[in-house]
Amino acid sequence: MKKNAVSITLLTIVTAVILFLVFKPVLQHPNGILFSKSIDPLKSYYNFSYYLKHDSGIKHDGINYPYGDHLQYINSHPLYVTILKFVDKYIYPIANFGVAILNLSMILSFLIAMPFLYLILRRFKLPAWYSIIIALLIGFMNPQFDRIHGHFEMVYWFFIPMFWYLLIRWREEKKWFWGFLLVLSGTVGGFISAYFAAFYAIFLFGVLIADIWLNRKQLHGYLKSGLQLLILAIIPILLVKGLVGFTDWVDDRPYNPYGFYKYHASIQSIFFPTDYLFGRYNTNFEWEGRAYIGLPAAILALSIVLHFLYNLISKKKRSWSIYFQEKAFHPYLIAGTLVLLFSMCFPFKWGLGILLELLPPVKQFRALGRFSWIFFYIFTIYSAYFFYSFFQKINHKKALSAILLVAVIGIWLYDASLNVKRSTKNLFNKNDKLETQDYGYSSRFEESNIDLNQFQAILSLPFASTCGDKLLFEYGTTALVEAMKCSYHTGIPIVQSFSPRLSFSQALSSIQMLADSAIRKTRLDDMNEKPLLLICTKHKMNEQEKWLQSHASIFWEDQYISMSTLPVSVFKTSHQNWLNHVEYLIPELKCEGTICADTPSRLIYYDDFNEHESENSFSSEGAIYKRRGEIEVFNDKLPVDSGKVNLSFWLYFDTRRYDMPQPILHTLNENNELVENTKLNNRQVHDIYKNWVRISTQINAQKGFNYQLTVQGKYITIDDLLIKPENANVLIKNPEGFDLFNNFPLTKQLSN
């Protein structure tokens, strides 16, 4: 290490100079710049900064009021931010500089990572001057750089080189010191982001598999080392998962996120350029899978493939020695290739998806493409080693050797410069959201003579939230950003959360806040009687959002937003008014069997599906269920010949699938010809009762037309289909469950 000190110092100085030139605006005003103003990065900035300023412990109380959320699940760098909280409390006040700390931490990760790259290169006996150059090239070409636009914890790219270097030292010396540092690095990485613990484990597992293959003829002699490596691989996973599981207070987080079969790497995303030559045509890959290794390494990979194919079809075999001279590199190349295949969703996407049922934690990583970063570092360093060794062999032609090596370095330099250019494009945005000083919201409360302590939480409209990947409200993210700004400066928490790992039941109860008055808002049971601070932008709102805003008292407004006082009694009163209204109407309804209505029963169609068996049902026994495929729910003429008709049914919110089944209404004319296919809204729905979502649509009935309602997807459960004239009132009596009024649950016993 001492003999490398001068080179590492030089490397660090050069890296620092480059970083200063690239990030000069940030280094001059670290708290004045936001790398992006879209919802994902702002959410990360807010979660980190709010905790640093207002919270402590493992709970983040700024979102998902009144429950909060666990730090590990909200991209808030949990271990790092808790250490900083300690610094703020006991050493030096830094609570107002969350944005600056995040920005500088991401930049600093380059200075931490470069020495690890250098030391790895030196372990493979490459000269110091060459190792410095290659470390710089690989460092600024790394695919994690691009994550600076939003996935901030993923920017800490020093973790993977650090894992590799510490693993090399442990394998060389087998000393507990290196093993301890290796485990510590994996554990620390896991408490920054679960992805780093996964990177650590899969890398070590890949090396273990490679070792077993390479030592297959003498496995007995490898048994001890293999067992030690296995233990080193699993300890951080057990520590991270165990501690998080022990401290987590909810048990219904999404475990099946969207993206496992989509956000993966591909041949194009790894080996084909995207920024020059024919790169403009190389766009058919997922951004999450981008880990381009540079043109020289891509050419080397192609030559290896061609060599393999030649040996496969030719009787005259060519030696592999030119490619694999350094035996110490073999396990890492094999491991990197295995991890690359995994990042390409192999073997799961090739008909072996059943394996996910045996390995349930694996499917929680929606972006498999990120695992290709491990291959990136391994193969680029291998390529650097190969080119240097190869050109040394032709050293008798010194001029040619030098020209070729300079050409390789020059092309990689171009690749690195393009990566820096792409990664820093539109990067420097003024921080007008989470500033050190509050120049906006405090004065608004003061001008309006409003005590901000009177509010228990913030609700923003248009509504924005997510429930795993099943229900998603993205339209109102601008309002949510304003809510984050206000929350950060005032300490008032936000009702909503945009975290995809939030508890299902808690996410559903926040979405239900904007449900029809017919549905009781269960979240209010855990809230106090203080009013909500309603923050609304000037964007278009739906009817329920308009209704809610109309029942709030505006105390401040400009051309962009309004701030209002919303009593929580509005929710309770509206539901009670609905119950009173139903109680008033019921005596006027005429009953035929279990159906009572203020319109002739022939104009009403209702099916409780009680003849069907299902694990889940809505109002009584029975519901239509299908594990996968398509269900035909209705196929007939409507009971109403003309006019507006309301069709509604209840769709079960099944957590075994990341998306919602898709209802489709097919309209066919008198000749049974398809006129229209209409996909019904199944993702931006507020009418929620327990684990059921009410799907509703309005139809302009046409005489003689046939209407077919189908639902496609996986884990489909349908119950209580009601078709009625738009303005008709219908009571469904249910002796074995609860009654329905206009297909809303009537669970409260009415006086008459």
Q: Enumerate domains of the chain plus CATH numbers.
A: 113-246+258-423 (no CATH), 441-576 (no CATH), 589-746 (2.60.120.260)
Rounded distance between C-alpha atoms, residue 339 and residue 282, angstroms? 23
Residue with tokens 């010396």: 173
Name the pLDDT band for 188 (thresholds 50, 70, 90).
Answer: very high
pLDDT surpassing 60 at residue 187 = yes
What pairs with residue 649 in β-bridges?
Answer: 695
pLDDT of residue 748: 66
Let me know: does 79 contact 85? Beta carbons within 8 Å: no
Nearest-angstrom CA–CA distance, 371 and 336: 10
Least confident of 167-181, 255-269, 281-295, 333-347: 281-295
Find the mean pLDDT for residues 460-470. Answer: 92
pLDDT attached to residue 714: 95
Task: Quote the percentage of the chain above a pLDDT of 90.
Answer: 82
Backbone dihedral angles phi then psi of residue 28, each to the nearest 5 degrees: -80, -35
pLDDT at 280 over 70: no
Q: Looking at the predicted structure, is the pLDDT value of residue 281 above 70?
A: no
Q: What is the pLDDT of residue 752?
A: 42
CA–CA separation, 611 vs 634, rounded Å?
A: 15
**Whether the Cβ atoms of residue 258 and residue 312 lie closer than 8 Å to each other:** no
d(CA 690, CA 738): 14
Residue range 340-386, pLDDT digits in tens = 999 999 988 887 777 777 777 777 788 999 999 999 999 999 999 99
Strand residues in 50-206 grouped as ranges (E): 59-60, 69-70
In the three-class reduction of DSSP (H, G, I as helix; E, B as strand; rest coil), residue 80 is classed as helix
Cis peptide before 462 (omega within 30 of 0): yes
The mean pLDDT value for 546-564 works out to 96
The whole-angstrom separation of Cα 427 and Cα 148 is 8
Buried b (16+ CB within 10 A) or exposed e, 585-615: ebeebeeeeebbbebebebbbbbbbbebebe
The mean pLDDT value for 388-412 works out to 85
- Percentage of the chain beyond pLDDT 70 is 98
- What's residue 325's pLDDT? 84
Contact of 393 with 405, CB cutoff 8 Å: no
HEC states along 686-710?
A: CCEECCEEEEEEEEEECCCCEEEEE
Q: How confident is the model at residue 1 (pLDDT cuts 50, 70, 90)?
A: low
Write down the pLDDT at residue 750: 56
**pTM: predicted TM-score of the whole model, two decimal places:** 0.94
Summarize the confidence of residues 603-629 as an average pLDDT. Answer: 94
The whole-angstrom separation of Cα 370 and Cα 424 is 20
Question: What is the chain's Cα-based Rg?
Answer: 30
* Mean per-residue pLDDT, 133-154: 96
pLDDT at 349: 83
Quick one: which of 588, 595, 587 has its CA closest to 734?
Answer: 595
pLDDT of residue 598: 95
3-state secondary structure of 307: helix
C-alpha count within 13 angstroms, C-beta hemisphere, residue 148? 31
Give the confidence band of 64 by pLDDT, cuts at 50, 70, 90. very high
Please choose, from the candidates 745, 707, 719, 726, the residue with its C-alpha nearest in 3D space to the C-alpha of residue 646.
Answer: 726
Kindly report the average pLDDT of the chain as a whole number. 93
pLDDT of residue 278: 52
